[in-house]
Homo-oligomer: A and B are copies of this chain.
């Protein structure tokens, strides 16, 4: 449980979770939206994955991450309390940088 809160205790990771509230995203999209280096994003995602807050799924060359609320049910309310950053994803789509692979 400590590890879980540690994972939540970082602004970048909270932003990632807030973004994943809207829809699953791959690493390069998160890198793009959050304007951070790819390794930095990867390392944050690893922490979130270790804490069982997100799950990953490969789609071709992209690795998509999405919320995983299975570990502690009460955490669901915490995730819902995060601000809606759907607008950031809209901007990404508008700029034509959204990955499509379905």
Contacts and interface: CB of A to CB of B under 8 A. Distances in A.
Contacts of A5: 5, 8-9, 14
A13 B7 CA distance: 15
Contacts of A74: 77-78, 80-81
Interface in A67-98: 72, 74-75, 77-78, 80-82
Interface in A1-47: 1-3, 5-11, 14
Nearest to A75: B78
Contacts of A6: 9-10
B14 A10 contact: no
A81 B77 contact: no
Interface of A: 1-3, 5-11, 14, 72, 74-75, 77-78, 80-82
Given A2-B10, A75-B78, A78-B78, 8 more contacts: A2-B9, A2-B14, A5-B5, A6-B9, A9-B9, A72-B81, A74-B77, A74-B80
